[in-house]
Amino acid sequence: MTRQYVPNRNTVRTRLVLLLLLSTVVLVIASVPAHAATYYNFQVGAWGDSTSIGNLGVRVEIQTVIQPLESPDLSNAYWVGSVLVGGGFIQLGYQVINANICMRGYSTGQEFTCSATSELLSGSTPVWFWQYWPQGDGSSFYFGFGPIGSAGVNGTWHTYAIQPSDNNTWTFLMDGQTVDMLNVPVVPSKLAAQMVAEKLSMSADAGVLGPVEFRNLSYYTGSSWQYVNSLSVLRSCGEGEMCSPNIPFGVQALANNDILVGSDQPDLVNHSTLTSGGIAPSSSLAVQNSTQLTTLNETNLILQEFNQTSILQHEIERATLTQQEPNDTFQVTLVIPSIINVTVDGVEVGSGPVLQLQLSQGIHTISVPAQIQLNGTTVQFAGWVDASGLAMGQSTITIDFTANLVMQANYQPVWST
């Protein structure tokens, strides 16, 4: 079979391989000398259509998936990015890596500068990250990583956006909040917007990659955000600067502008049409185009907005420090939308946004409504998430309490199609 390539695809692939290779050597991801090691880079995802060429920013929603990262694999990364006019490249997303690395810095030629502390990262605590390559030849690059665990707990959704700041330099945002900035001039993209799941390994027989869901790829025109009109399959790989057709990962369309990428997904033909664009069904972004925006925001019913609050992390930290209560009782903290009523063992005990209970040791049943109506909009339960990252999909759960516990209940609107 003849492999097809879009213009400059080889440049994109090579640059990303070099990016991760340099990160591996310079940031002490591996101790093997660069000249003695072979690195395999696998990338699977989707390109936006040609309307996103010339964009001044890109944005996408990515679900956080926590999974083991074992040798010989070096990192998993999930990101949105653009190839820029002049050959530069910029990306933002989250990364899973086991290493002690510099959290922010740059490399110019052969000189590397770390401008922040180094931290020990692990696969159980993914972090947001960004990378910027000003030239296509890989002679220099800039990078930044977020705090440990900054990509959130397992199963949560987060929006990653790259856009211009007021003084026309790049800004990196997660869930609408600025996490970092890069003081270089903004230039338009040369190619279409892209969303990608990527693995770097020292073996062609790589381990698992997600699968991770991406949705609502959009681009910034300079005055507004627009969703892509369509998506096509992106499949790329690298062995050093060589590419093999044996990519062990795939991609499938779940809905409009909604894809699942990584392990055990279909091996679709590169560049083939994947899905139409627009807005993914049951998406929090649909709420942002609704007259109910204010009401939904006030009650924290938007899944995307709800997950970006600091309430859960605050309660997790506080519960971790709380010792077992007297008389064999435990503190149970429930983080829930404010109008949702909670029932424990058949008795209504209150509503959100934060509900703290003392429950005796043993088995208890916690229940929230599976679905409610809010001003004519159906809002449905979207899953429990606990502090360990364990996601539970039923609105009624039975737990054997043997320790303090923090639980978050997620809800999202349901939109007719």
| Domains of the chain, CATH where assigned | 9-280 (2.60.120), 293-414 (2.60.40)
* pLDDT > 50? residue 379: yes
As a whole number of Å, the CA-based R_g of the chain is 22
Range in 66-80, 256-270, 306-320, 338-352 with the lowest mean pLDDT: 306-320
Range in 1-15, 27-41, 296-310 with the lowest mean pLDDT: 1-15
| pTM of the predicted model as reported, rounded to 2 decimal places | 0.65
Of all residues in the chain, the percent with pLDDT exceeding 70 is 73
* pLDDT > 70? residue 52: yes
Angle at 254 between CA 251 and CA 255, to 5 degrees: 130
pLDDT tens readout for residues 103-159:
999 988 778 899 999 999 988 889 999 999 988 666 789 999 999 989 988 888 899
Burial (CB < 10 A; 0-12, 13-18, 19+), residue 362, is exposed
- Torsion, Cα 197 136 162 234, to 10 degrees, reads -30
| Contacts (Cβ under 8 Å, ≥6 apart) of 241 | 14, 17, 18
pLDDT of the residue at 344: 92
| Contacts (Cβ under 8 Å, ≥6 apart) of 347 | none
Count of CB atoms situated within 10 Å of the CB of 21: 21
Count of CB atoms situated within 10 Å of the CB of 193: 28
Structure confidence at residue 415 as a pLDDT band (50, 70, 90)? low
Asked if residues 37 and 255 have their Cβ atoms less than 8 Å apart, the reply is no
Structure confidence at residue 75 as a pLDDT band (50, 70, 90)? very high
Asked if residues 311 and 387 have their Cβ atoms less than 8 Å apart, the reply is no
Range in 47-51, 55-59, 205-209, 312-316 with the lowest mean pLDDT: 312-316
Q: Higher confidence at residue 311 or residue 176?
A: 176
* pLDDT > 60? residue 331: yes
Range in 131-135, 161-165, 267-271, 377-381 with the lowest mean pLDDT: 377-381
* pLDDT > 50? residue 26: no
Q: Read off the pLDDT of each residue in 270-296 and give the average, rounded to a whole number.
A: 55
Q: Read off the pLDDT of each residue in 173-183 and give the average, rounded to a whole number.
A: 93
Of all residues in the chain, the percent with pLDDT exceeding 90 is 40
* pLDDT > 90? residue 202: no
Q: Read off the pLDDT of each residue in 276-301 and give the average, rounded to a whole number.
A: 43
Range in 16-30, 56-70, 73-87, 132-146 with the lowest mean pLDDT: 16-30
pLDDT of the residue at 109: 73
Burial (CB < 10 A; 0-12, 13-18, 19+), residue 104, is middle
* pLDDT > 90? residue 165: yes
- Name the most confidently modeled range: 27-31, 45-49, 65-69: 45-49
Q: Higher confidence at residue 167 or residue 8?
A: 167
In the predicted model, what is the mean pLDDT of the chain?
77
Q: In what order do the strands lie in the sheet with 194-201?
A: 111-114, 104-108, 140-145, 127-133, 89-97, 73-83, 194-201, 40-48, 230-239, 273-276
pLDDT of the residue at 137: 62
φ/ψ of residue 109, rounded to 5:
65, -120
* pLDDT > 70? residue 6: no
pLDDT tens readout for residues 249-260:
999 999 889 999
